[in-house]
Amino acid sequence: MFTDNFIKVYDHALSKKECDIIIETFETELSRGDRIYKSNSNNDDWGTAVKKAYNLPLSFREMGDRLYHEIILNALHKKSNKFCDQYPYLNEKTNDAWGVNSGYNIQKYEDGDGFYTVHCENGRHTPYRVLAWMIYLNDAKSGTEFPYYNKTIRAKKGRLVLWPSQWTHIHKGVTPNVGVKYIATGWYGYVPPDPCLLYTSPSPRDKRQSRMPSSA
């Protein structure tokens, strides 16, 4: 019987020093009050609390984001190779290029904050997403729950989690958050015919020419 849940955990994807650099850089930006915003989605259509967190969206076109990209993308590519080794269909049988989507986030959850409702990372506005990923940047009394699989992953510094983005892998944060939790989180997605719609960092095994736009 096939019992694989396709949720993969990779410890030490980032070093403690790399995690600290990301957090310090994030906090510097937070003190400036420029790009970071506080999502305070108190209610959904049913009156349920949704999400409270500080968010920093990152872009491959933003020169100031290069420090984040250098650290995070290097770790992602190394570990996604292992994921593809286990599930080779992702690269051997699909005809579409795919890679890390631009627009991934650094997030900070304060005491009592969290992502309260179950959700998946693929919907009518984001059908191109293939995998979701998350890197915990500090140890925290929190984590991520996958209710269909009765699985809870603890927030551990440097830990990377990869999982399919579809409805089969609905998840939520362990709430309420106790203390402070920092994460980097985003998606791997297919590159659409019009690359202006989605900018990606190439899949580590995509042998074709990158379709990531230049910084010009």
Domains in the chain, CATH or no CATH each? 8-40+48-202 (2.60.120.620)
pLDDT score at 100: 87
pLDDT band at 204 (very low <50, low <70, confident <90, very high): very low
Lowest-confidence region among 43-47, 68-72, 110-114, 129-133: 43-47
pLDDT: is 35 or 157 the higher one?
157
Q: Span 186-204, mean pLDDT?
A: 60
Q: Is the pLDDT of residue 198 over 60?
A: no
Place of tokens 């259509």: 45
- Give the pLDDT of residue 48: 45
Q: Is the pLDDT of residue 121 over 80?
A: yes
Least confident of 7-21, 38-52, 136-150: 38-52
19-26 contact pairs (CB < 8 A, 24+): 19/137, 19/138, 19/157, 19/158, 19/182, 21/67, 21/71, 22/68, 22/71, 22/72, 22/106, 22/137, 22/182, 22/184, 23/137, 23/138, 23/182, 25/67, 25/68, 26/56, 26/106, 26/108, 26/182
Predicted TM-score (pTM) of the model is 0.83
Segment 150-191, tens digit of pLDDT: 999 999 999 999 999 999 999 988 877 778 999 999 999 877
